[in-house]
Chains A and B, each alone.
Chain A
């Protein structure tokens, strides 16, 4: 997509070469033959006065915890991305998976065994990153059962991950899992000695790690106040080294009011905003002298989670009636000024696996009423749980409420902060009937939008819609086991059609990323996974 991209990247994202003074950064490929791809830099470089100061981001979510294993969302990703590392890492757009803490990986022919060789990396306290730390980290995720647990729970059993030696670690999966490498970036490696030292009563150090960090990431925690945000200083000894210019300090502030964030950027108090800035404000900022807008196609679809198990929403006709009662056009073209694209299904149309000619729902009150007439159970007032602090979520809720009123269904709106809604998501009793939110790309695979959130095995974890369809399960299970994209693609396309036909959710649009930055910002390497909050590439002119 065009638009004014006024950034100058440190390196082009296309072929993966960074034009820098030394070092090459070779990006890996997404197929499983990752053994050949390495990430290396020519030793540790002493940067010559490359520091360009402090970078402040105003984020729409507050950072209520720093523990990387208990949250799994985009709103709070900055702490994980910048304070911690994982075995592999996503960068750039279209997203590429790179070796990161791992030098290489050997995958067994049966695709059940992944053996990683680690690089020489250090934690912030100087101790080396060892295989034991990796084992501890995966065991911690599996024990705490929060955050990205659902990504690993179906294939990694506790106790099966082994440290072969100090630099070699082996994962043994219970069944083939096509997205294992793709989801590994969310398995953040923590300093096991440090965390163990603060364990209390079997909490795996959770009480301590919520407000401290034990990572190896590009930045080292300096200050943390859950009421304000966190700041971190550059970790000069980071294994991936640094380019000729970098940031000395990064700061992330949780500021819930959008006007405050926008004004702060305009006045120079902030250098960047989060990726959820309403388009109204983006448009207003476009002409401002010290603001640059980065516009990129993204992989984030907006939709309503529908509680598929709670009557009358367990009736497909009721769900279809909902889908015909939403004013897609008014929302996309009027409220959002045409800045996003209608996406009839859940997989973003630019992503492979999205069916090309999908006929979605339109705003048609007659069809809505017809579907409603077929509903067998009794109707009741529906609850829509909008996300506070995300104005679009509230607007979508009000629009749906209005449409439903026109077909005789009442709905009440309850607005709550994202962490509160998130805490209720897996709970069949507590979760609301309808929740307007986004499905971002956590890993660049169609499973991110299909199997992970609609397969019945993920109910209570990723499947917050409590959707259950035998054919859908069959398709998505099989697609995870297969290896080649051309084999998996038709499965995902059919699965996507099922979701639309069964109205498993109310799918609205695929967004573009609109990043608002200070004019001085350079080197932004936008990646749909992480929303440009990965600070190691950026610098200030």
Chain B
């Protein structure tokens, strides 16, 4: 049965996948779906802080911009940031972990010690330091997130590679004279792929949370960018009056991250039933 088919059978994963697809489509077609697409950077000061209505589904912000439309364009920023940051982290961390795990010894130890340094502080702390130094722009956020996330992957893949190496069929392949690269790519990688895929989904959710926290602190893309975290920060000055302004972006984040988490959970059930019983090995990131 194909992977997609198996996912479709698991209702939890399916729900997550549908929500993600819906939001992604909404982001792509933001221009068409938005009721006031120009509100991303133009203002109508006379319509400020209007409550939700038939015209403005989620109300307006302090400059008169339609919140619903800005949310849609903000989804682009959120998804792009998370996808690129996670992709870069995976592309750096996975090969590093593979190599270090396969040739354990000094090289392996060194690579793991380097990742330990990055992991010595919680991700957001280091990400804040990096993003603040480089300045509030979307590229810097992505860079900060990538630089602080690759060690998780390196560590995870390192542990899994070492486990996989002791499997009999891997040892057989090596004994039969397969080159290390062949073993790593054709044998080990597919074996650990489920683990990577599951954690990618959950990692996307976590990255969205961290990225919006950076935006909330003012380290994300600058105004008038409709980044979700920044919208929440802006909304604070107008509480408790304009509560819809703070609620909408937060709910958007909640739905999107929950979808990624559910997808990850569902994938875990589908791809690797073993993991369901034992929980995760120590040191690897849970969520």
Binding site for B on A (CB under 8 A): 257-259, 263, 278, 280, 284, 327, 330-331, 334-335, 388, 391, 394-395, 397-399, 401-402, 405, 412-415
Question: Smallest distance from the beta carbon of B221 to chain A beta carbons, Å?
Answer: 10
Take A259-B240, A395-B62, A395-B63 as given contacts and tell me if A413 and B45 are in contact as well, using a CB distance cutoff of 8 Å.
no
- A394 to B237, alpha carbons, bound, how many Å? 12
Tell me if B281 is interfacial: C-beta within 8 Å of chain A: no
8 A Cβ contacts from B210-229 to A:
218, 222-224
Which residues of chain B have C-beta atoms less than 8 A from A415's C-beta? 218, 222-223
Whether B223 pairs with A401 at a CB distance below 8 angstroms is yes
Contact B222 A413 (CB under 8 A): yes
Closest to A280 in B: B238
Please determine whether B222 and A412 come into contact, CB atoms closer than 8 angstroms.
yes
Given contacts A413-B223, A414-B222, contact A335 B45 (CB under 8 A): yes
- Asked if B48 and A335 make an inter-chain contact with CB atoms under 8 angstroms apart, the answer reads yes
User: Are B240 and A327 closer than 8 Å at their CB atoms?
Assistant: no
19 contacts between A and B (CB under 8 A): A257-B236, A257-B237, A258-B237, A259-B240, A327-B45, A334-B45, A335-B45, A335-B48, A335-B62, A335-B63, A391-B62, A394-B234, A395-B63, A397-B223, A399-B43, A399-B45, A399-B63, A402-B43, A413-B222
Interface string of B41-85 (1 = CB under 8 A from A): 111011011000000000000111000000000000000000000
- Complex contact A394–B48 (CB within 8 A): no
Give Cα A278 to B238, complex, Å.
Answer: 10
Q: How far is the CA of A413 from the CA of B236 in the complex (A)?
A: 19
The answer on a CB contact under 8 Å between B239 and A259 is yes
The reply on B31 being an interface residue by CB < 8 A is: no
A280 close to B222 (CB less than 8 A): no
Given known A-B contacts A258-B237, A280-B238, A415-B218, A394 and B45 have beta carbons under 8 A apart? no
Provide the main secondary structure of the chain B interface.
Answer: loop
CB distance from B74 to the nearest CB of A (A): 16
Q: Which residues of A contact B49 (CB under 8 A)?
A: 280
B136 nearest CB neighbor, chain A only: A414
Task: Decide if B41 touches A402 in the complex (CB within 8 Å).
Answer: yes
Q: State the main secondary structure of chain A at its contact with B.
A: helix
Chain A, Cβ-Cβ closest to B224: A398
In the complex the two chains form, is A398's CB within 8 Å of B223's CB?
A: yes
Q: Is B241 an interface residue (CB 8 A)?
A: yes
Query: Do A334 and B136 touch (CB < 8 A)?
Result: no
In the bound complex, residues from chain A placing their C-beta under 8 Å from that of B223 are 394, 397-398, 401, 413, 415
Given that A259-B236, A278-B237, A391-B62 are contacting pairs, would A402 and B42 also be in contact in the complex, using a CB cutoff of 8 Å?
A: yes
- C-alpha spacing A401/B62, complex, angstroms: 15
The one of B218, B224, B237 that contacts A259, using a Cβ cutoff of 8 Å: B237
B238 / chain A contacts, CB cutoff of 8 Å: 259, 280
Bound Cα distance A394, B240 (Å): 20
Q: Which residues of B contact A397 (CB under 8 A)?
A: 223
Contact call B224/A402, Cβ cutoff below 8 A? yes
**A399 CA / B241 CA spacing, docked (Å):** 22
> In the bound complex, do residue B240 and residue A401 qualify as a contact, i.e. CB atoms below 8 Å apart?
no
Taking a contact as CB atoms under 8 Å apart, the answer to whether B43 and A263 are in contact is no
Cα A398 to Cα B225 with chains together (Å): 11
Q: How far is the CB of A256 from chain B (nearest CB, A)?
A: 10
A395 to B224, CA, bound (A): 10
Minimum Cβ distance to chain A for residue B225 (Å): 10
- Do A284 and B241 have beta carbons less than 8 Å apart? yes
By the criterion CB–CB under 8 Å, are A263 and B240 in contact?
A: yes
A281 CB, nearest partner CB in chain B, Å? 8
Which residue of A is nearest B62, CB measured? A395
Cα(A263)–Cα(B239), bound, Å = 9
C-alpha gap A399/B63 in the complex (Å) = 8
Min CB–CB distance B234 → chain A (angstroms):
8
Q: Which residue of A lies closest to B218 (CB)?
A: A415
Residues on A with C-beta less than 8 A from B222 are 412-415
Q: For B41, list chain A residues within 8 Å (CB).
A: 402, 405
- How long is the Cα–Cα vector from A300 to B48 in the complex, in angstroms? 25
Complex-state Cα separation, A399 to B222, whole angstroms: 14
B46 to chain A, nearest CB (A): 5
CB <8 Å contact, B240 and A334 = no
Contact of A334 among B42, B48, B218, B224 (CB under 8 A): B48
Rounded to whole angstroms, the CA-CA distance of A284 and B34 in the bound complex is 31
Tell me which residues across on chain B come within 8 A of A334, comparing CB atoms.
45-46, 48, 64
Chain B positions within 8 Å of A278 at CB level: 237
CA distance A330 to B48 in the complex (A): 11
Contact: B45 with A330, CB < 8 Å? Answer: yes
Output the least CB separation between A311 and chain B (Å): 22
Interface residues as binary, B121-132 with A (CB distance below 8 Å gives 1, 0 otherwise)? 000000000000
With A and B bound together, what is the CA distance between A529 and B45 in angstroms?
Answer: 31
Chain A residues whose CB sits within 8 angstroms of the CB of B239 once the complex forms = 259
Closest chain B CB from A26 CB (angstroms): 44
Closest to B42 in A: A402
Q: In whole angstroms, what is the CA distance A280 to B49 when docked?
A: 10
Whether B241 and A280, one on each chain, are in contact in the complex, defined by CB atoms closer than 8 angstroms, is yes
Nearest chain B residue, comparing its CB with the CB of A330:
B45
Chain B residues closer than 8 Å to A388, beta-carbon distance: 218
- Chain B residue contacts of A330, Cβ below 8 A: 43, 45-46
